[in-house]
Structure 1
Amino acid sequence: MSVADEMFQAFMDASPMSATMFGLPGWDDRVEDLSVEGEQALRARITDILRRAEASDSDPVTLAVIRHQGQSMITRIDARLIEHTVATGLSAPVNGLLMIASQLDVSQRLDKFARYIGQAGERVRNSDRRPLRRHLEAGKTRLDRFLAAPAQEWEGSYSGEIRSAVAGFREVLASIEDGRGDDQPGLCWLPEGEQNYANLVRNYTTTSYSPAELHQLGLDLIARLRDEYAEIGSRLWGTGDVQEIFRRLRTELLWDNEEEMVANAVEAIARAEAEAPNWFGRMPKVGCQVRAVDEAERETSPIAFYLPAPLDGSRPGTYWLNPLGATERSRTLSEATAFHEAVPGHHYQLSIAAETDMHNIRRFAFIEAYLEGWGLYTERLADEMGLYSSDEQRLGMLGLDAMRAGRLVVDTGLHAFGWTRQQAVDYLRENTVMPEPEITSEIDRYIEVPGQALAYMVGRLEIQRVRAEAEEKLGDRFDVRAFHDLVVGSGAVPLPVLNDLVSAWTAAA
């Protein structure tokens, strides 16, 4: 077995639900081991693989991915985020399980869920790193909703055992009386927090940017975006007043109903698929469908997310859209989100990589700066492709840009510079068009998943940089279709490796 095989095995052992999502056989009866002993055994195993990888004959790109995937798992184990991540996002172990269980075939692992939930409770109970008080309350509310609802189909004959474990986890949350206040939400307030955050920043961005540099980058981007808002706002509404544009985007152009929101996403993706051959030489063999999130999961589901098609093609890639509160949400964000999550965003990126003959460690690598950088890149690419149906939708593109730029400011503010939760809320309220419920949910996400929010804009800027450099060097010989095929056909790679790949391609051309 090669070191690439070993690292991929360890990667899937650490996240067997992901293996099921990808349609990879061999992990359908497993769950992650959340115990301290299990994590430390995994850490030792990964450390040994990394040591031996340096003497292997793996090609440089595969070796770089092996290094990143191994170090990523070590970084997250060392940060011990599991011990204070308890609210309603996908990263909270128990809530994430309850969300994803209805989307996958979990029938072979139902007998292991109670142990998994119990391990999560033990980690929280025995930790010196307390969750925020508001996250404890949010976690309890979410679990109460699950326990009060009728058993779902996925629970099968293990419903009683699973619900007893969920009730036990709720008791753990209720027993914690010393949760952190909103004045100390970041990692910098926790033991080893400064070092853990620095490691997470390196892991998520795959760069050497410091938190201070990322913070300033976000401030600069927010300032530049105001000029773009003013230019489109003047053309559309006859005003360049950014705060007036923000007000109109927050309070006008809302959805009439849920069905309209879903139909708009279907139309946007259809336009993207029709135009894509002019921008990509290679299209995925598998299709992309749009589905509304199930009623039972809408309170805790993200606004939108993508799940790739399994390898056997038993279902298409799926763009999941949460229509909760549609009539209070701006329709201007719809198209940019669809292009990011589906076509030509994550659907093209993940499907094309999975269809290559590369090693699995590259086909299914999880490198956020590349993955989310590509998603954000395609929001601007969609404008080049002529996909936005109106200037209102272009303002939505700017709104999502501002959110990702704002993430650089508030994520570093919270975790490196000791911002209060309210400081972070106030910054997004002043500098983005996000509605209040979305601002608060996003801030809570950044608190519980430190560093992840940095990956989007850092990755987008790097993809744009290497493309611009290639265009400058090649001039009329630059082929945008070949460029995009290279980027998505190489699988997820660290950003320095992407630079090397594009530089080599440019030289060869």
Structure 2
Amino acid sequence: MSLSEETFQAMMDWNPTFATVVGVPGWDDRLDDLSVDGHQALRARLTGILARVDSSDEGPVARDVIRHQAESIITKIDARLVEHTVAAGLSAPVASLLSVATQVDFSQRRHLVPRFLRQAGERLLDTDRRPLRRHAESGAAHVERFLASPKQEWEGDADLRPAFARFREVLLELPGRDDEQAGLCWLPEGEANYAKLVRDYTTASYTPAELHELGLDLIERLREEYAEIGSRVWGTREVREIFQRLRTDLLWANEDDMLTSAVEAVARAEQVAPDWFGRLPRARCEVRFVPEIDREVAPLAYYMDAALDGSRPGVYWLNPLGATERSRTLSEVTAFHEAVPGHHFQLTIAAETDLSNVRKFAFIDAYLEGWGLYTERLADEMGLYSSDEARLGMLGLDAMRAGRLVVDTGLHAFGWSRQKAVDYLRDNTVMTDTEIHSEIDRYIETPGQALAYMVGRLEILRLRAEARSAMGSKFDIRAFHDLVLENGVVPLSTLGSLVTAWSERV
């Protein structure tokens, strides 16, 4: 067995349901092993892989990916996030299980659910870490909604609900942390764990302090763009007024309009994509509403990979919950990020190559989310935005990602309270209060992940500018995009080496 395949097996053992999502056989009868012994056994396997990377016969790109993936999982195991991640979002193990269970085949793994829930409860009880009190309550309420719902198809004939009820009782018994101590820096080894997670998620050498300052600077620069477009849309350059109108005007009339807008945006992007990409994905991308039972806890939008065997297309999932209270300006930019030319192009093109599975399916957020954020601005170059109102939506998501640099580091490195983080996003973005609270809870439960978006986007833009400068008239944007996507999921430093070699070779 090659070291690439050995690493991929370890990755899927860490997250078996992901293998089912993308259609890789061999893990349909497994669930994560959340126990301390299970995590330490996996850690030992990964440490052994790291000891053999440099002497392996893998190519240089594969070695970089293998090294990152092994170190990444070790970082998460060592941070013991499972011992205080419990809220109703997609980060907590039990919340993630309830979400994915409705979307993949659970028939061969449902018997493992009671063990999974028992392990999750044991990790929460036998630890010197505690979740936020509000997150324990949120997680318990999520389980309670599940228990109150009719029996779902994925449960089959198994009697799983007593195990969920016992897990709910564990959450209600936990002595949670106060909102004033929201970040990792308030937990044992928190500062060191956060520094490692920052390196893991960004694949770069930024310190938390540097990222904090970068975010503050980007937020300030975005105000000039808001003023410019706001003057065209509403005749005002006053950013506070523009923010207020974006929160209260241009809302959806109904759910159907939201779906129609997303479908039309994806169709426009597909039509002009050949002018910007030499290689196009074979699998199609469909736009669907999130199933009703998942809407209370699902993100506003997300992408799910197409199955390798072609049995399922890529799906851009859109959550219509509270549609009439949400700005329609975010519709187009989100579709371009999640679907075309964003994650659907990125993940499907990689999956359709002959690369090893470890390079197709690596979990490297700076590359994955950096590309998604890059395509939001690329869409403007492609002429995809239908109006200045839609471009304000582009700025809105830019501000969210810049704000993440400030808030994530504020919470986890500088000891910000949850309320201070909420206030910062309220003052510097156009997100609604509901969105802000949801985002802040996400940052608290997945320390460092929110940093990946802007760091990745800025690096792709920097590499593109350097290649264009070096190549002059030989620079081809289609070839550049093909290069970025056809090499699979890679650390940013590896992407830089690939782009530099390409620009010198052409």
Tell me which interval the TM-score lies in, with the shorter structure as reference length.
over 0.9
CA-CA distance at 1:126 after TM superposition:
1.0
Matched, 1:42 2:42: yes
Q: What CA distance in whole angstroms lies between the structure 2 residues aligned with 1:458 and 1:449?
A: 17
CA-CA distance at 1:45 after TM superposition:
0.7
Task: Please point out which of 456, 459, 467 is paired with 1:459.
Answer: 456
Partner of 1:241: 238
Code of the residue aligned with 1:274 in structure 2: it is Q
Code of the residue aligned with 2:76 in structure 1: it is R
Matched, 1:186 2:186: no
Matches within 5 A, 1:287-298: 287-298=284-295
Code of the residue aligned with 1:289 in structure 2: it is E
Matches within 5 A, 1:358-437: 358-437=355-434
Summarize deviations over 1:251-302 as a string: whole Å, max 9, x none: 0000000111011000000000001000000000000000101111100111
Partner of 2:129: 129
SS of the aligned residue for 2:205 comes to coil
Partner of 1:357: 354
Q: What CA distance in whole angstroms lies between the structure 1 residues aligned with 2:362 and 2:131?
A: 30
Matches within 5 A, 1:275-354: 275-354=272-351
User: For structure 1, which runs of at least 5 residues remain unmatched after alignment?
Assistant: none
Partner of 2:27: 27
SS of the aligned residue for 1:108 comes to coil
Code of the residue aligned with 2:429 in structure 1: it is T
CA-CA distance at 1:66 after TM superposition:
0.2
Q: What CA distance in whole angstroms lies between the structure 2 residues aligned with 1:108 and 1:7?
A: 24
The runs of at least 4 consecutive aligned structure 1 residues that moved more than 3 Å come to none
Q: What CA distance in whole angstroms lies between the structure 1 residues aligned with 2:294 and 2:52?
A: 44
User: For structure 2, which runs of at least 5 residues remain unmatched after alignment?
Assistant: none
Q: What CA distance in whole angstroms lies between the structure 2 residues aligned with 1:112 and 1:99?
A: 16
Summarize deviations over 1:132-185 as a string: whole Å, max 9, x none: 011011111111111011111111111x2x211111110101111x21000000
Code of the residue aligned with 1:312 in structure 2: it is D
Partner of 1:114: 114
Q: How many residues align?
A: 506
CA-CA distance at 1:3 after TM superposition:
1.2
What do you get for the CA RMSD once the two structures are aligned?
A: 0.6
Partner of 1:494: 491
Partner of 2:255: 258
Code of the residue aligned with 2:165 in structure 1: it is A
CA-CA distance at 1:6 after TM superposition:
0.8
CA-CA distance at 1:32 after TM superposition:
0.8
Code of the residue aligned with 1:65 in structure 2: it is V
Code of the residue aligned with 1:36 in structure 2: it is V
Code of the residue aligned with 2:141 in structure 1: it is T
CA-CA distance at 1:16 after TM superposition:
0.7
Partner of 2:13: 13
State the percentage of identical aligned residues.
69
Moved more, 360-369 or 50-59: 50-59
Partner of 1:88: 88
Q: What CA distance in whole angstroms lies between the structure 2 residues aligned with 1:241 and 1:489?
A: 44
Q: What CA distance in whole angstroms lies between the structure 1 residues aligned with 2:92 and 2:392?
A: 33
CA-CA distance at 1:91 after TM superposition:
1.2
Matched, 1:99 2:99: yes
Q: What CA distance in whole angstroms lies between the structure 2 residues aligned with 1:427 and 1:14?
A: 35
CA-CA distance at 1:14 after TM superposition:
1.1
Partner of 1:207: 204
TM-score if structure 1 supplies the norm length? 0.99
Matched, 1:165 2:163: yes
CA-CA distance at 1:219 after TM superposition:
0.2
Q: What CA distance in whole angstroms lies between the structure 1 residues aligned with 2:140 and 2:11?
A: 31
CA-CA distance at 1:421 after TM superposition:
0.4
CA-CA distance at 1:477 after TM superposition:
1.1
SS of the aligned residue for 2:307 comes to coil
Code of the residue aligned with 2:170 in structure 1: it is V
Code of the residue aligned with 2:345 in structure 1: it is Y
SS of the aligned residue for 2:256 comes to helix
